[in-house]
């Protein structure tokens, strides 16, 4: 059973509870990005099982009027076992999504997965444009990756980056990462026609995105995590599309631990949620 503190960040252990959470979000004008928790599988049976679960979830979403989509992790679909398996399982999900018109996001993991993730995205998005991929501004390669993605349909989710990457391939320091994030955001708004997703809780970043939208007219949305600044999510949804990243499943413990550990402010968010402040 998920304890109360973790339920601030995880929408239960079943797809049914996640879909119900999505329904509640929609009632508040917020969309849902559903993610079945799981990653870094070394057993094909686990990767195949989660792929089956995603295909079922896509069908469930398609049978409703929910404003909801899914987001998958490459290592969850078998990337640790080989790029071929990852692409095979991703293809199954995308083919199912195409039948229901469900949007598919591909999460980005650490730098060792970047090439395989972008290659898989490129391999599908031309035939199924209702897809998006995440890129991390703290990697020094990201501007080159954005230039590559600018020639493709689909959306890009831009995040600052949560992985502790080697210093020779990544930017370090809060101020430096913020600077390169803003540069990448400006490039994306100037270049991408299909839309940009702002994966950030930072009010300054969200305000900057609104300014860029006024300048370039590029469609955009704001994406935030479940349990973090939820009042702000509902308020923002009155002016711009907002989507909440909604994890669920029985592998919740490592996700919850990472959410709290990677950002000091998440500890405060969790404490405030428990105290009802």
Catalytic annotation, residues: 107, 157
**Torsion angle of the four alpha carbons 160, 162, 166, 167, in this order, in degrees rounded to the nearest 10:** 40
221 backbone dihedrals φ, ψ, rounded to 5°: -140, 160
Q: Tokens 């009802």 — which residue?
A: 276
DSSP the chain: ---HHHHTT---SSHHHHHHHHHHHHHTT-EEEEEE------SHHHHHHHHHHHHHHHHHHHTS---EEEEE-GGGGTGGG-HHHHHHHHHHHHHHHHHHT--EEE---SGGGHHHHHHHHHHHHTT--SEEEEEETTBTTHHHHHHHHTTSSSEEEEE---S---TTTB--SHHHHHHHHHHHHHHHHHH-SS-EEEE---HHHHHHHHHHHHHH---EEEEEETTSSHHHHHHHTTTS-EEEEEEESS-HHHHHHHHHHH-HHHHHHHHHHHHT-
144 backbone dihedrals φ, ψ, rounded to 5°: -65, -40
């Amino acid at each position: 059973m998920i304890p109360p503190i973790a339920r601030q960040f995880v929408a239960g252990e079943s797809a049914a509870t996640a879909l119900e959470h999505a329904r509640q979000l929609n009632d508040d004008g917020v969309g849902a990005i559903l993610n079945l928790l799981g990653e870094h599988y070394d057993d094909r049976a686990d990767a195949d099982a989660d792929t089956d679960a995603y295909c079922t979830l896509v069908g469930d979403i398609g049978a409703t009027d929910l404003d909801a989509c899914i987001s998958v992790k490459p290592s969850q679909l078998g990337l640790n076992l080989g790029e071929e398996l990852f692409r095979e399982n991703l293809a199954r999900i995308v083919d199912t999504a195409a039948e229901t018109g469900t949007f598919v996001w591909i999460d980005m993991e650490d730098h060792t997965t970047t090439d395989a993730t972008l290659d898989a995205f490129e391999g599908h998005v031309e035939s199924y444009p209702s897809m998006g991929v995440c890129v991390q501004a703290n990697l020094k390669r990201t501007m080159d990756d954005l230039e590559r993605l600018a020639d493709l349909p689909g959306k890009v989710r831009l995040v600052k980056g949560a992985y502790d990457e080697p210093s020779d391939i990544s930017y370090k320091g809060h101020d430096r990462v913020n600077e390169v994030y803003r540069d990448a955001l400006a490039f994306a708004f100037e270049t991408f026609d299909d839309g940009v997703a702002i994966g950030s809780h930072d009010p300054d970043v969200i305000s900057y995105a609104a300014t860029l939208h006024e300048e370039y007219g590029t469609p955009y949305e704001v994406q935030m995590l479940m349990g973090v600044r939820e009042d702000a999510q509902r308020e923002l949804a009155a002016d711009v599309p907002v989507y909440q990243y909604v994890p669920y499943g029985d592998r919740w413990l490592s996700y919850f631990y990472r959410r709290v550990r990677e950002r000091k402010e998440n500890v405060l968010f969790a404490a405030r949620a428990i105290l009802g402040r």
